[in-house]
A and B are shown apart, each in its own frame.
Chain A
Amino acid sequence: EIVMTQSPATLSVSPGERATLSCRASQSVSSNLAWYQQKPGQAPRLLIYGASIRATGIPARFSGSGSGTEFTLTISILQSEDFAVYYCQQYNNWPPSITFGQGTRLEIK
């Protein structure tokens, strides 16, 4: 099983600043990496797929980068609504292998 490890577990950043979240895969997943945002009591929301492609309706302040085993989600200018938990996910179609990272909690500093 491919293990996804996110760091840090918790990130404290002030509104208006930049946040950088990391995700590492235990083996190469090429660019088959997605990022999701989850707020308390809500379902996850797709932010990024293909490691760097913003999903429909996602603001440009969200950007993804990386390939292979190292990935980054950057939020350029934090807004109040961005404070949430962020998950990375690898998804290999066959044989099916779908795993999430343990999440990074982005909190207000």
Chain B
Amino acid sequence: EVQLVESGGGLVQPGGSLRLSCAASGFTFSSYWMHWVRQAPGKGLVWVSRINSDGSSTSYADSVKGRFTISRDNAKNTLYLQMNSLRAEDTAVYYCARDSVWFSNYYYYYYMDVWGKGTTVTVSS
């Protein structure tokens, strides 16, 4: 069964740090790009970060650039999100998601086809 399981969430004070993990199973993790997406309480989905299959290329939303770092360990089938200088507005459920692509008519279509159940991060004093 294809599965993503996040962990590492918790309560942290403003300015603090936290590292999230996402354990992948049931598929060849090293072949897929991966994402982190977050959802603040009662709000919608917001993309946070993306990493390519070998970890050599990363992208971030402007709201977390310079504070968050995405990485992966393909030998451990695990995705990470290191979060530093945390703010109250970073409070959210954090999901990891698998990137997929469909090629049709000379065009690539991208989407996220597998999601974990999420881990909750609360930034509060």
Q: Which A positions have Cβ atoms within 8 angstroms of B?
A: 30-32, 34, 36, 38, 42-46, 49-50, 53, 55, 87, 89, 91-93, 96, 98-103
Q: CB-CB < 8 A to B107: which residues of A?
A: 30-31
**Interface stretch (choices B12-20, B39-47, B74-82):** B39-47
Q: CB-CB < 8 A to A100: which residues of B?
A: 44-47
CB pair A93–B47 under 8 Å, yes or no, is no
Given the interface contacts A31-B109, A46-B112, does A53 sit within 8 Å of B47 by beta carbon? no
Interface size class of B (residues with CB under 8 A): 20 to 34
Main secondary structure of the interface of B (DSSP, over half): strand
CB pair B47–A101 under 8 Å, yes or no, is no
- Least Cβ distance of B51 to chain A in Å? 11
Q: CB-CB < 8 A to B9: which residues of A?
A: none
CB pair B102–A50 under 8 Å, yes or no, is yes
B95 at the interface (CB under 8 A from A): yes
CB pair A42–B95 under 8 Å, yes or no, is no
**Interface stretch (choices B24-32, B83-91, B115-123):** B115-123
